[in-house]
Amino acid sequence: MTLPFTSDQFFGIFAEYNRTFVLVAAALWLTSIVTLVVAARHPARHSRTLSYFLSALWLWNAVAYHGLLFTRINPAAWLFAALFLLQALLLFRVATRGPIHYFSSARWMHAIGVGLISYALAYPFLTMAFGHSYPATPTFGIPCPTAILTIGIFLTARGGVPLTLAIIPIVWAFIGGSAAVLLEVPTDFVLLGAGLLLTAILAGQRLQLMRAA
Q: Which amino acid is at 99?
A: P
Q: What is the pLDDT of residues 90-120, one digit of tens each?
A: 999 999 987 799 999 889 999 999 999 999 9
The HSE-up count of residue 183 (CA atoms within 13 Å, CB side) is 24
Q: Is 85 left (phi over 0), alpha (psi -120 to 50) or beta?
A: alpha
* DSSP letters spanning 166-186: HHHHHHHHHHHHHHHHHHT-G
Do the beta carbons of residue 80 and residue 70 sit within 8 Å?
Answer: yes
The residue ranges of every structural domain in the chain are 16-212
Q: What is the pLDDT of residues 137-177, one digit of tens each?
A: 999 999 999 999 999 999 999 988 889 999 999 999 999 98
Q: Which has the closest alpha carbon to 153: 23, 32, 45?
A: 32
